[in-house]
């Protein structure tokens, strides 16, 4: 039984925190915002968001940077 409000059949990406190296937020000319996550294997994951999500993405970036500093 699926609870009300549950996103059934959704697809999520899971990246263990230990594999993250850095996070950046950039804005494109078309107004979209990209969150880029650099990985330990020299890989990178980019996710594009609407411009109105910029503040939330910058909060996430700051939280991740704090975690990265704690690991060192």
Structure confidence by residue, pLDDT tens digits, 50-62: 999 999 999 999 9
Residue 28 CB-half CA count within 13 A:
11
How many other CB atoms are found less than 10 A from the CB of residue 51?
A: 11
DSSP at 20:
E
Domains in the chain, number:
1
- pLDDT confidence of 3, banded at 50, 70, 90? low
* Chain-centre distance for alpha carbon 72: 21
Are the CB atoms for 71 and 22 separated by under 8 Å?
no
| In-domain check, residue 59 | yes
| In-domain check, residue 6 | no
Tell me: the pLDDT tens digits for 14-42? 889 899 999 999 998 888 999 999 999 89
| In-domain check, residue 28 | yes
| In-domain check, residue 27 | yes
| In-domain check, residue 9 | no
Phi, psi of 15 (to 5 degrees): -125, 115
For residue 56, what are the domain limits?
17-71
């Amino acid at each position: 039984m699926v609870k009300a409000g549950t996103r059934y059949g959704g697809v999520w990406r899971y990246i263990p925190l230990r594999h993250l190296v850095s996070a950046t937020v950039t804005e494109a000319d078309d107004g979209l915002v990209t969150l880029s996550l650099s990985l330990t294997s020299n890989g990178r994951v980019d996710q594009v968001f609407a411009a109105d999500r910029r503040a939330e993405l910058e909060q996430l970036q700051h939280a991740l940077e704090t975690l990265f500093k704690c690991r060192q």
